[in-house]
Chain A
Amino acid sequence: MWRRRTGGARRSPEAAQAELAEPVQPVEPPALTIDALGRKCPIPIIMLAERINQVATGGVVAVLADDPAAFTDVPAWCRLKSHEHVASYELPQGGWSIHVRRNY
């Protein structure tokens, strides 16, 4: 994976979001939404790990988070745990809804 980009280095995840994630509405509605707004990493990841088994295999969990670390860490957790990072959607009030598909 590599990205080429023009602009400031310390870009906000908001800017990264605009470039990397689908800006539109999610195609598939989440079966479960975890509200981790205001919680610092690693708490959002811990909440996700605890609750992902509450959806059926193939189902989607949305993690709402506004700690900038979550923007990188939720997809990284998916890679380490062999789940799928579907997409990250910007929330109007700040932060993201990060969608994860349970693979097993």
Chain B
Amino acid sequence: MAYLDAASTEPLHPAARDALLAAIDAGWADPARLYGTARRAQMLLERARGEVAELIGARPDEVSFTSSGTQAVHLGVLGTLAGRRRAGTRLVTGAVEHSSVLHAGEVHEHAGGEMEIVGVSRTGRVDAGAFAESVARPGTALACLQTANHEVGTLQPVEEAARACREAGVPLLVDAAQSAGRLPIPEGWSVLTASAHKWGGPAGVGVLAVRKGVRWRSPLPEDERERRRVPGFENVPAIVAAAAALRARSEEAQAEGRRLSALVDRIRAEVPRLVPDVEVVGDPVLRLPHLVTFSCLYVEGEALLTELDKAGFAVSSGSSCTASTLRPSHVLEAMGVLTHGNVRVSLPRGASEDDIDRFLAVLPDIVRRIRSSLGVH
């Protein structure tokens, strides 16, 4: 089985596995207590915090660990909106943000707030001018922008957005879930969120960093863990493993990113050559190194995924028939590109050229067979 769905979750990095096994023995106690085993857990936790802080360009006291990337986004969005209530109730986001951002925004709307969604180009890149204009309107409490899109890989204009936010005095939440460990963290964020299992850490660890000076108030009941930012007992062994994975990935990122990016270029060039009526979507240049998405006309996404699975390939799709809802992906909709017959290929660390050769070898016949079963020749 060739696993080509790293954007859903990256397999555990060997460095994380070693760190996890060691920390299960050494870091199980309550880091808030004062006896030896507890102090040991606390030391491990604080060392991991220091390491993650350094790798994302933050101070250790700005970094909290959450139970997931989604929780980091929920707390980041709602906590900053709560802290900025006096400044206003407007939230500005891009149209192709992760659903955790948009769902947090809906909670804000239900509480009487306002959400303005800035549209994207055909390639899925947020219009930086429109974003800047929207952020500058009076009453803006928070702006949110992802570093890169999770479905099509397009990089977002974070630096331009950060400049506009700075000029307007509005905090910017940057969702780095898809790029952390793969690309340098862009500068200019006020709140940063990320997810460890996307960079090869274990599931159940998210990162929420809030810059010193940014007003933030927990939207949840009070709890003293994680500097009063995140409720509940920390999963110290998983956090230690997450830090080890981020360290290892960041060291490998340049060389591995270049290698994976060349494989992605190959898929982008070859798929439209080998398969008729295919649209490769997302920006061809300003993109994540490891992710490519294309849509095949006249093909059901679900049939395509099933056939690729039978042929030994694990990939994902934004087509409606493959999602839990009946609606197609909001990302593809906002871009105005085909939503059916959609395939996302995202390469994990170590994906081989051989996997891609085989993928390109089986895909044309699979598409042809599905089309012919629907009467398209």
Task: Give chain A's interface residues, CB within 8 Å of chain B.
Answer: 1-10, 40-43, 45-46, 49, 67-69, 72-73, 75-77, 79-80
Q: Which residues 261-313 of B have a CB within 8 angstroms of A? A: 277, 279, 297-300
Q: Which residues 298-332 of B have a CB within 8 angstroms of A? A: 298-300, 319-321, 326-328, 330, 332
Task: Give chain B's interface residues, CB within 8 Å of chain A.
Answer: 93, 95, 97, 102, 105-106, 109, 114-122, 126-127, 130, 134, 277, 279, 297-300, 319-321, 326-328, 330, 332-334, 336-341, 374-376
**Known contacts A9-B95, A72-B328, A72-B333; is A4 also within 8 Å of B277 by CB?**
no
In the docked arrangement, what's the CA distance between A3 and B116, Å? 11
Evaluate contact between A68 and B127: CB separation under 8 angstroms: no
For B328, what are the chain A residues with a Cβ–Cβ distance below 8 Å? 41, 68-69, 72
Evaluate contact between B115 and A7: CB separation under 8 angstroms: yes
For B320, what are the chain A residues with a Cβ–Cβ distance below 8 Å? 41, 67-69
Evaluate contact between A6 and B115: CB separation under 8 angstroms: yes
In the docked arrangement, what's the CA distance between A3 and B117, Å? 8
Evaluate contact between A1 and B119: CB separation under 8 angstroms: yes
Evaluate contact between B117 and A9: CB separation under 8 angstroms: yes
For A5, what are the chain B residues with a Cβ–Cβ distance below 8 Å? 95, 116-117, 119
Among the listed A67, A68, A75, which residue makes an inter-chain contact with B336, where contact means beta carbons less than 8 Å apart? A75
Evaluate contact between A9 and B330: CB separation under 8 angstroms: yes
Interface centre among B134, B297, B330 (most CB of A within 10 A): B297
Can you show 24 pairs from A to B with CB atoms below 8 A apart? A1-B336, A2-B118, A4-B130, A9-B95, A40-B300, A41-B339, A41-B340, A42-B299, A42-B300, A42-B341, A46-B298, A46-B375, A49-B297, A68-B326, A68-B327, A69-B327, A69-B328, A69-B339, A72-B328, A76-B337, A76-B338, A76-B339, A79-B336, A80-B297
Q: Known A-B contacts: A2-B130, A41-B328. Give 19 more (CB < 8 A).
A: A2-B120, A3-B334, A4-B117, A4-B134, A5-B116, A6-B116, A8-B106, A8-B115, A9-B95, A9-B117, A45-B298, A46-B374, A46-B375, A49-B298, A69-B340, A72-B336, A76-B336, A79-B336, A80-B338
In the docked arrangement, what's the CA distance between A77 and B60, Å? 50
In the docked arrangement, what's the CA distance between A42 and B277, Å? 13
